[in-house]
Amino acid sequence: MDTQWPRWEVFKQDTPAKPHQAVGSVHAADPFHALLTARNVFARRPQAVSMWVAPASAIFSVTQEELAEGQEPKPQAPDPRPSTFYVFRKTSHKRSMTFVDYVGELEAASPQQALELARQRFTDAEALAWWVVPASSVTKSENSPETVESWFAPAKDKTYKQQSYYGLVGAPGSKFKRPKGDDDE
């Protein structure tokens, strides 16, 4: 029996001019819990203006290799009414934290159909992997100025320092050792 809460993928937008990017995942009981946990984990120091979360189980993903070998996941029965899907694409191995970037949304009857449409429409860069997510599965932070300020502004004041900034604690002759003074007595 699995005792973990469901896994949610987290998408963070650094500035209004940049796309949402997958930055990792969190375990949470529901979408709002996932959004709060994502904020605490992924927006403590770096800049952010928006966050989305989606259950990992709702994401249809396929790699370039799987497409080349015809190993797409088993097709789902199409819905007679088209729905909106968000499309994410990985185009590089350079960034270690970011897996996929948001490239747009499509109307389709199934994730597979959305993938086919995405492969035809988003041709400006080679895709190493695709993620297709039903828009109905995505929970977003509010886009109001008040929410952006209250959720993401505190992170702007926190300066991130590399571990090397602090030096070696207790090392003989360390330049970070302070002389004994009145405060130490």
What are the C-alpha distances in Å from 98 to residues 53, 60, 152, 155?
15, 17, 19, 19
pLDDT the model gives residue 183: 55
CA dist 17 and 35 (Å) reads 22
Which domains, from first to last, does the chain contain? 7-158 (3.10.20.520)
Q: Which pTM value belongs to this model? A: 0.78
Of 110, 134, 130, the residue nearest 122 (C-alpha): 130
Q: Which two tokens stand for residue 78?
A: 């199409």
pLDDT in tens, 16-61: 999 999 999 999 999 999 999 999 898 866 678 999 999 999 999 9
- Residue with tokens 């994401």, as numbered in its chain: 59
pLDDT in tens, 64-93: 999 988 876 666 666 678 999 999 999 988
